Copies of this chain bind each other. A is one copy, B any other.
Amino acid sequence: MSQIINHSFDAIPQSYLFSEVARRVAAFRAAHPERQLIPMGIGDVTRPLCRPVIEALKKAAEEQTRAESFHGYGPEQGYDFLRRAVQAHYAVFGVQLDAGDIFISDGAKSDLGNLPDLFSQDCRVLLPDPVYPVYRDSNLMAGRKVEYLAATRENGFAPLPGEDLRADLVYLCSPANPTGAAYTKEQLAVWVDWALANDAVILYDAAYECFIREELPHSIYQVKGAERCAIEVCSLSKTAGFTGMRCGYTVVPQALVREGKSLRQMWLRRQCTKMNGVAYPVQRAAEAVFTPAGMAACKEDIDAYLKAASVVAGALEELGVWYCGGKNSPYIWMECPGRQDSWRFFDALLENAGIIGTPGSGFGENGKGYFRLSAFSGEENARAAMERLRAWLQS
């Protein structure tokens, strides 16, 4: 008898990593209502939206109250005003995009989850490990097998393809979640050359590009040839504190063709069929991010998060705990003291220091014995957390 349900769902863990973290935290809070916990787990921002964004949002809200300025269904791929703003943002990195290559969406997670729709059921998917679980789970749900490329301390958590590597679809994230590792332009060029030689497609997650402060590529399209092998996904969640506003963008270059098909055309068809664009007021708010005033305000927020990251990094250094990240990234990827089990350290850190982090093993095999701390709760929290960590580890 044929089955009605998609049993590929059985292949994925019943609970999403961050839901399990939330569950354990809730249980701990219930048992210890008096304890003040410091959240350094999930990658959510804490600094409020900047004034230019709010003013744009409110102005658009008022437009929606009058028939003559009312906006109903917009273009599924986003309004031209916002696509042009994104286009101009890329030009700052020296990347010239066709506005038609840019698709506005309700966030990077949606696009990363939905982009597999464009690929065949049996295409070979390669993920770095450790990895943002969405890459893995969205492919497993669709019944695809996934293979892993080890990201380890030895390769700086930024693995490169060997000559014998074979895959059709590769996910890269730089600066990476969860490790904070970032590829150099030369390293990305190795990936692009490999993809072109193998007719592979790279899904490049640039969600953390705004944290880059050193000479590192903000976009894979800064590498020549990437427009023929890469799709890039980005978001305003981290750039502008849009986690609660839901707006991102994905670039599918016109030059990206496989088996005679334009992936840009396919993505347009997918989006036109299965979504209806992003709220008009949200798109106006997003447009304001890319104004000089918006960009200046956002940079100030990111600098503050980076300051918090440097506080964590400095404390770990002082404590002799191995870590990476914390530069060009809001994440610090630390070794669990004694290389202990990640979830055991999660519980111990919660119990002994009242700090909420994220177990590295939740991101994959190579995350075992590691732990992710996020700088999004700000400098004050970072200082307090590091005080507690110091007191605990030295006790």
Instruction: Give chain A's interface residues, CB within 8 Å of chain B.
Output: 2-7, 9-10, 12, 14, 16, 19, 42, 44-49, 51, 54, 57-58, 61-62, 64-67, 70-74, 106-107, 109-110, 113-114, 117-124, 133-134, 137-138, 141-143, 168-169, 199-201, 241, 243-246, 258-259, 261, 263, 265-266, 269-270, 272-282
User: Is the beta-carbon distance between B246 and A277 smaller than 8 angstroms?
Assistant: yes
User: Is the beta-carbon distance between A61 and B58 smaller than 8 angstroms?
Assistant: yes
From residue A53, how far is it (CB to closest CB) to chain B in Å?
8
Can you give 14 A-B contacts (C-beta < 8 A)? A3-B259, A4-B123, A4-B201, A5-B261, A6-B119, A7-B259, A9-B270, A16-B269, A48-B66, A73-B243, A73-B244, A141-B269, A141-B270, A141-B274
Q: Which chain B residues border A54 with CB–CB below 8 Å?
A: 61-62, 64-65
From residue A231, how far is it (CB to closest CB) to chain B in Å?
13
From residue A21, how far is it (CB to closest CB) to chain B in Å?
13
Q: Which chain B residues border A121 with CB–CB below 8 Å?
A: 6, 121, 143
Query: Which of these, B65, B199, B201, contacts A51 with CB under 8 Å?
Result: B65
Q: Which chain B residues border A113 with CB–CB below 8 Å?
A: 273-275
User: Is the beta-carbon distance between A275 and B107 smaller than 8 angstroms?
Assistant: yes
From residue A386, how far is it (CB to closest CB) to chain B in Å?
21
With A12-B273, A279-B282 already in contact, 6 other A-B pairs whose C-beta atoms are closer than 8 Å: A5-B120, A45-B72, A54-B62, A106-B246, A134-B273, A281-B282
Q: How far is the CA of A280 from the CA of B241 in the complex (A)?
A: 13
User: Is the beta-carbon distance between A273 and B137 smaller than 8 angstroms?
Assistant: yes
Q: Which chain B residues border A7 with CB–CB below 8 Å?
A: 120, 259, 261
Q: Which 10 A-B pairs have the closest CB atoms?
A: A113-B274, A72-B243, A44-B72, A71-B244, A4-B168, A244-B280, A49-B64, A48-B70, A137-B273, A57-B61
User: Is the beta-carbon distance between B278 and A246 smaller than 8 angstroms?
Assistant: yes
